[in-house]
Structure 1
Amino acid sequence: MAWGKKHRLTDSGDGHVAKSTKVRDTSEEELEPRTAAEIYYEDGNLQRIKPYFHKFATYAKGRWVGRTIYEVFRSEFRDRTPAYYESAITQGIIELNNQKVELSTVVRNGDLVTHFIHRHEPPVTTQPLVVVRETDDGLLVIDKPGSIPVHPSGRYNYNSVIKILEKKHGYHSLFPINRLDRLTSGLMLVGLNPDVARRMERDLAAHRIQKEYICRVKGVFPSGRIVCDQPIRVVAHKLSLNCVDREEGKPC
């Protein structure tokens, strides 16, 4: 599919959206940068991504079916204002099945939903992602810094472990074996083929590989081993925040 127009929407935050349109013939492959030099730059101790055009595409989720396309975006994606989504649908920046639709168009099962945007990713640390070792059978050991998510997801794409290994280190067809949360740093195992990934996953499940987490704390922490056996409640999945909650928490 070729995109014949690039649209720009400026959201002032007060519900008003200024519109401008720049005509340009381009293919999907040309929408995003291809080399590390075109993607990454450093700003002090932060690694930033040069803004780029990107097309999000997903098939309709069950809870979207039967609702209008405008209602879906207004209620499901609250990082932008309703005025932005109204304008984006009207201009064809948001499409159903690669076609421009009305605000009142109802989403059906199997519909392809696309959103063409100028993407601005959050920054991460400039601390390098280090390849510690690569084995002959296709196992990669890396040292992942904190602040970098493993997979492209949400607002993160190029500032993810998978994309950094691809764009900066030249690896492709990666199979992460043990996942670390975005804010967690440490060693990660990544398979370069599905066979070694499955083998290492079996070893992890059988506890033949030992994992150890080291936590930095504030204040004077008690010495010796401490066991938490209290119910745990997830405060925020995206931030990996948990707390002890004796009323609503789940048993350890």
Structure 2
Amino acid sequence: MLEMGSTLSSSPSSRVVAATTTTIKKTIEIAQNNKQYIIRDGLRFVIPYWLDFSTGCRDRWIRRKVFEVYRSEFPYFSEQYLKKAFELGRLKQNNKVIHDLDTVMEKNKSITHRVHFHEKPIYNRNINILYDEKDLLVVDKPPSFPIHPCGRYRKNSLTFILEEAGYNNLHTVHRLDHSTSGVLMIARDKKVAQSIVNMINTRENTIGKYYLSIVKGNFGKENLTTSGFYEEAQVVQCDTKVYCKDHKKGIWSASDELGTFDALTFYCPIAYNKEENISLVMCKPITGRTHQIRIHLEALGFPISNDFFYNREFVKEMEMKEKPNEAPASNTILSCNSEQNTLKRKDIDITDNNETKENCLQQAKKKQKCENVNEENTATGKRKTTGKKFEDEESKVQEYEDVCVNCNPFYSAMQPFEENTPLCIFLHSWRYELTDEWTFETPVPSWVFEKFPAIDSRNEESLRQKLIRIKDIMTQTSSTKD
């Protein structure tokens, strides 16, 4: 059900929070060691390195050939690559090298695959610390940073970077998508982590989560003839159920008929840009479903303007572009298989099928060192723990490897398919009210001022006070819906 409601022109007095954290305590500079990283066009690339991926034998794999399992489950690895990998001893079963292509998968036996690992780039941005005590660390997560090592990310993940900076024993208690920025709490003690998780799960209606987003269209009822702030704070409610539409791609959708999970989000328009036909909107999710804010905005007809999953017009624009990755603020789209925790590469640059291996190899070697760091499809199982022996990482670095699906197009099985998707979407976790003691707030993201010239960046405190008033209105409105 979609519901419009609660138009309020005045707001209650702002709740006084005892220890609201709105200032940056310190900044963590991300490592730029030229032996492991390359900074280019505002992005941090990890120089490729060797990494072992281990996975157990799933029930459907039992008694199937290892070679066949890799070909069917991980199609990014071509037949010619896998044959060469077997020959070179890169695959092991229970730590024993296997060369025989007829080796079968066995229950309770693990498979380890040594790969020449290419990570996805992230923005070359430092990490601002909002709160730093013995029990809790709170950061303003930059866009493009995944929270922890997964899929195509390891060294370019937030927790890995924090551990490099000396923060150990980190426990994530909630999530933000890699393309989303803003408040992120990380417990520094296992018991504290469990306590916060229990609080989040049992107090959905009392915890305040406030996001800022830019959506396509005029979100407010007011028929604005010029750009500027909306005069009235009109709260919009969406409680359409959600469901996973595509498990392989990790795409969700909203439908009361097909939905399997309850979801509730409140929205309130803040400002409008008539020239670009976009609105600045505050979002308050009550439940915490995957991509909830994004799919409810799509259901309302106002998708996030640069959402590469849920804004169909934006996706079409990307597909029409002939030269992806022209802008540094772009990246390739991922398809995530949640069951197998695998990632399928879609930005592969390979030659025509009738070209020879020698031609492919020549093409690959012409590339400047690490100038094209592309995606890779790997089975992610047990990973080496981050935060330990960082000095050993340099010994694993190798910029080019002949038998690699990224370095040498000859070994790639996928056809050319590139998309120009952002490292950042216009969705920012601005404020998180866990308790009166633990309430955290970030500065307003720069894209708000870039996209809404009518908002004066020189008077950010005035904007903040307006956001606080809108937040209070949304809090009052959502509490009456309980």
> How high is the TM-score relative to the length of structure 1?
0.77
Cα pair distance change 1:89/1:245, threshold 3 Å: farther
Tell me which residue corresponds to 2:151: 154
Cα pair distance change 1:122/1:96, threshold 3 Å: same
1: CA distance, partners of 2:149 / 2:190: 19
Tell me which residue corresponds to 1:225: 235
2: CA distance, partners of 1:131 / 1:237: 34
**Code of the aligned partner of 1:181:** D
Cα pair distance change 1:82/1:222, threshold 3 Å: farther
Q: CA deviation at 1:154?
A: 1.0
Q: CA deviation at 1:244?
A: 3.2
Q: CA deviation at 1:166?
A: 1.1
Indicate yes or no: 2:57 matched with 1:60. Answer: yes
Tell me which residue corresponds to 2:122: 124
Tell me which residue corresponds to 1:184: 180
Cα pair distance change 1:247/1:90, threshold 3 Å: farther
1: CA distance, partners of 2:50 / 2:261: 45
Q: Match of 1:211, SS?
A: strand
Q: CA deviation at 1:235?
A: 4.3
- Percent of matched pairs sharing the same residue: 33
2: CA distance, partners of 1:100 / 1:130: 45
Cα pair distance change 1:74/1:241, threshold 3 Å: same
Tell me which residue corresponds to 1:99: 96
Tell me which residue corresponds to 2:213: 215
Q: Contact 2:131 / 2:138 at 8 angstroms: preserved in 1?
A: yes
Indicate yes or no: 2:230 matched with 1:234. Answer: no
Q: Contact 2:70 / 2:77 at 8 angstroms: preserved in 1?
A: no
Cα pair distance change 1:49/1:235, threshold 3 Å: farther
Indicate yes or no: 2:254 matched with 1:244. Answer: yes
**How many residues are aligned here?**
216
2: CA distance, partners of 1:67 / 1:104: 9
Cα pair distance change 1:245/1:210, threshold 3 Å: closer
Tell me which residue corresponds to 2:189: 193
**Code of the aligned partner of 1:40:** Y
**Code of the aligned partner of 2:235:** R
Cα pair distance change 1:212/1:236, threshold 3 Å: farther
Indicate yes or no: 2:139 matched with 1:142. Answer: yes
1: CA distance, partners of 2:67 / 2:250: 31
Q: CA deviation at 1:236?
A: 5.0
Q: CA deviation at 1:237?
A: 5.7
Q: CA deviation at 1:118?
A: 1.1
Q: Contact 2:32 / 2:39 at 8 angstroms: preserved in 1?
A: no
> How high is the TM-score relative to the length of structure 2?
0.42
Bigger relative contact order (CA 8 A; separation at least 6): 2
User: Which of 75, 80, 84 pairs up with 2:77?
Assistant: 80
Higher strand share: 1
Unpaired runs of at least 5, structure 1: 1-34
Unpaired runs of at least 5, structure 2: 1-30, 222-233, 263-482
Q: CA RMSD in A?
A: 2.3
Q: Contact 1:230 / 1:251 at 8 angstroms: preserved in 2?
A: no
1: CA distance, partners of 2:143 / 2:246: 18
**Code of the aligned partner of 1:234:** C
Matches within 5 A, 1:42-53: 42-53=39-50
Matches within 5 A, 1:26-41: 37=33, 38-41=35-38
Tell me which residue corresponds to 1:30: none
Q: CA deviation at 1:201?
A: 1.9
Which digits, 9 at most, give the CA deviation of each residue in 1:182-206, with x for residues without a partner? 2211111111121221222232223
User: Which of 97, 113, 132 pairs up with 1:115?
Assistant: 113
Which digits, 9 at most, give the CA deviation of each residue in 1:13-39, with x for residues without a partner? xxxxxxxxxxxxxxxxxxxxxx86243
Q: CA deviation at 1:242?
A: 3.1
Q: Contact 2:172 / 2:186 at 8 angstroms: preserved in 1?
A: yes
1: CA distance, partners of 2:186 / 2:173: 5
